[in-house]
Chain A
Amino acid sequence: MTVLNGLSALFLIAGAGFCLAGTVGVLRFPDVYCRLHALTKVDNLGLGLVVVGLALEAGSWATALKLFLVWFFVLISSAFTCQLIARAALRRGVGAWGGTREP
């Protein structure tokens, strides 16, 4: 168990925690727009931490680069899809949360 291993394990566990937070957000937040927010921000951070953890002990630069490329594509796509989905929901007349908790 080297320092690199420990660091990698730390990143992997932190990434798993963020992914859990994203799913909890999707399940618990009150409306589409809040859920979309949890989904496209927190989950991407979780994936990023997992990618960093794996890249630390990837063994070759090519593998690490490919991992970061995967993360980059996911980041770009969720930046665009978040806008597209929110606009589609607005056009369909999905209301935003009014600020009171549902019972």
Chain B
Amino acid sequence: MHELRIGVAFFLFLTLMAGLVRVIRGPTLTDRFIVAQLFGTTGVGVLVLLAADEGRAALRDVALIFAMLAPVTVVAFVRFAIGDPPEASREEPPR
């Protein structure tokens, strides 16, 4: 079972690297960014697979932290990508 787990982890790593092609090809900023989401999901998969072996149980905690912190990067990107609302859509201050 050890070999299977390592093999699957390596396979997931390869799909992760294949996802990088999308970062190169774009074409929009959002296309490039969604690969970060791929890294979140598949990277957590690699970590839990590696953690299943003896002596590496701490990696499971790393996976937990990854899973909890992944949305933070997305929120940061969305704040950056949208930016402040345009002047016209802001509410008029009360007079």
- A residues contacting B by CB (< 8 A) are 5, 8-9, 12-13, 15-16, 19-20, 22-23, 26-27, 32, 35-36, 39-40, 43-44, 46-47, 50-51, 54, 57-58, 63, 66-67, 69-70, 73-74, 77-78, 80-81, 84-85, 87-89, 91-92, 94
Q: How many residues of B contact A (CB 8 A)?
A: 43
Are A88 and B78 neighbours in the complex by a CB distance under 8 Å? Answer: yes
Residues on the A chain within 8 Å of B44, using CB: 47, 70, 74
Task: Report Cα–Cα, A26/B68, bound state, in Å.
Answer: 23
Q: Is the interface of A mostly helix, strand, loop or mixed?
A: helix
In the complex, what's the smallest C-beta–C-beta distance from A38 to chain B, in angstroms? Answer: 10
Q: Are A26 and B70 in contact (CB under 8 A)?
A: no
5 cross-chain CB contacts under 8 A? A12-B8, A23-B18, A23-B42, A27-B22, A94-B28
In the bound complex, CA of A8 to CA of B78 (Å): 38
Q: Are B8 and A16 closer than 8 Å at their CB atoms?
A: yes
- Chain B 20-54 near chain A by CB (<8 Å), digits 1 or 0: 01100000111101110110111011001100100
